[in-house]
Structure 1
Amino acid sequence: MSGCTVYVVDDEKDILDLVSEYLTQKGYAVKTFGSGESFLGEFEKSEPDIVILDIMLPDIDGYEICKRIRKNSDVPIIMLSAKGEELDKVLGLELGSDDYISKPFSLSELEARIRKILRRVKRDSIKQDNVIEVFGIKVDFNQRNVFYNGTHIELSPKEFETFVLLLKESSKVLKRSYILERIWGDPALYDERMVDDVIKRLRKKILQYNLPVEIKTMWGLGYKLEEKKDEYKD
């Protein structure tokens, strides 16, 4: 991924220096920021290929920064935290981050995760049409919006990604581990209950917006999105 731009946001200068030096040696163009405000100011001018974002910052915490980024951008985000609490991980990922790594971390592991995410982004951008329509549900990938009968369906970042995956692969039963890997990353790093939680929320949204689909649990296998059966048909 030589030549890709990485923004690193952390209030610990030692970490900024180590990460910057290591990634620069690997061929990345690196910019470092010691505060949320300085990062957001630069981000508004020029987006990088990926952001490495610490949760605990002196002015604006990483969760709030992640929320602000996701209002207008799909740039990949890896969140850093010294806490290591499960709540931190779940909250960060649900706000739209792509991965999570706890301090202290291996620089080689961080770089491996960066490469994996950037490969996935490149693959998806090549394969993906700007707009698809399945079961009458329209997905606009440029704006990350879902519509049905002209109504905008409000989805969180992870709800959007999971729902789109189920739509695009509706002919298959998707294992929880497969969904976890496609949406969050390495299944060994995350709990499959995170998938169940998103599916539960998606089912509520399907009912709320009266969508013509349902997510079925295929016991022992996984989840499958199907078109709702018309109960009034002969």
Structure 2
Amino acid sequence: MGQTNILIIDDEEDMRHLAEMYLENSGFHCFLAASGLEGYEVLKNKTIDLIILDIMMPDENGYQVCARIREKYNIPIIFLSAKGEEWDKVKGLQLGGDDYIVKPFSPGEMIARIQAVLRRTGMTATEAQSRIQLGEIVIERMARTVMVADTMVALTLKEYELLLFFADHYAQALSREQLLEHIWGIDYIGSLRTVDTHIKTLRMKLGVADYIQTVWGIGYKFEVQTK
């Protein structure tokens, strides 16, 4: 298996190097950035599998950086912050974050959370490059991009994972429970309405290429309709 690349964005030098030490000792390869601007440059030039993103930073804070990253990339993001209030966690997750680690943290907790997110997303730099074309939709697995009718569509990580899961299970009826477990993980504490909400926004973004169909009493399936 190839190396997993992790980008650490944190304005505190000591914290960057501490996290780097933890991760390098566990077999990950790290890239470091002291600001969102530096982080964007790394993303332009390197294949990154996961981002550790601090919230309290000068200039752009972590929430703003996350929002900008989500405009172009579907890379998993774990927020890192001394702010442990419930509202902060909710805001981070709503903006497209995949998990939240509160400082101070143990090496074991950081590694476990990273591994859990990577398992859920199933994406590494060694994933075979391939293109999926379904009707007006083109999915580039390696670039993690989605085109609809030759136009780039910005999806959140969860929306992208839903679309990819549908594509990999083409024309199969999938229950909300299946989707919730695969995309959010078996330990996710939330209702099945989470699935419905994300599918609603995904449908809106797909527009003319909305091939998601409701299967009454079961859930959803994805199939291009021929006329």
So what's the TM-score if we normalise by structure 1? 0.70
Instruction: Measure how far apart 1:228 and its partner are.
Output: 5.6
Instruction: Measure how far apart 1:57 and its partner are.
Output: 1.7
Secondary structure, in 3 states, of the residue corresponding to 2:130? coil
CA gap 1:26/1:205 in 2 versus in 1, 3 angstroms? closer
User: Which residue of 1 is the match for residue 127 of structure 2?
Assistant: 125
Residue correspondence of structure 1 range 90-169 to structure 2 within 5 A: 90-93=93-96, 97=97, 99-104=98-103, 105-118=105-118, 120-122=122-124, 125-126=127-128, 129-133=130-134, 136-141=135-140, 142=143, 144-147=145-148, 150=149, 152=151, 154-157=153-156, 158-169=158-169
Question: Equivalents in 2 of 1:153, 1:36: separation in Å?
Answer: 23
**Does the 8 Å contact 1:79/1:92 carry over to 2?**
no
Kindly name which structure, 1 or 2, has the bigger radius of gyration based on alpha carbons.
Answer: 1
Secondary structure, in 3 states, of the residue corresponding to 2:200? helix
Q: Partner letter of residue 189 of structure 1?
A: Y
Question: Equivalents in 2 of 1:75, 1:65: separation in Å?
Answer: 13
User: Which residue of 1 is the match for residue 175 of structure 2?
Assistant: 175
Question: Equivalents in 2 of 1:212, 1:35: separation in Å?
Answer: 37
Structure 2 alignment gaps of length 5 or more: none
**Does the 8 Å contact 1:218/1:224 carry over to 2?**
no
User: Which residue of 2 is the match for residue 57 of structure 1?
Assistant: 57
Secondary structure, in 3 states, of the residue corresponding to 2:37? helix
In the alignment of these two chains, the number of paired residues is 217
Q: Partner letter of residue 90 of structure 2?
A: L
Question: Equivalents in 2 of 1:187, 1:143: separation in Å?
Answer: 24
**Which range is displaced more, 170-179 or 193-202?**
170-179
Residue correspondence of structure 1 range 3-22 to structure 2 within 5 A: 3-12=3-12, 15-22=15-22
Could you list the per-position Cα deviations for residues 194-225 of structure 1 after superposition, in whole angstroms to 9, with x for gaps in the alignment?
3221122234456x52x473421543x43333
**Does the 8 Å contact 1:54/1:79 carry over to 2?**
yes
CA gap 1:160/1:43 in 2 versus in 1, 3 angstroms? closer
User: Which residue of 2 is the match for residue 213 of structure 1?
Assistant: 211
User: Which residue of 2 is the match for residue 84 of structure 1?
Assistant: 86
Instruction: Measure how far apart 1:39 and its partner are.
Output: 3.1
Question: Equivalents in 2 of 1:176, 1:107: separation in Å?
Answer: 34
- 2:220 is aligned, of 216, 220, 223, to 223
CA gap 1:173/1:45 in 2 versus in 1, 3 angstroms? closer
Structure 1 alignment gaps of length 5 or more: none
So what's the TM-score if we normalise by structure 2? 0.72
Question: Equivalents in 1 of 2:190, 2:46: separation in Å?
Answer: 34
Secondary structure, in 3 states, of the residue corresponding to 1:22? helix
Sequence identity (%): 29
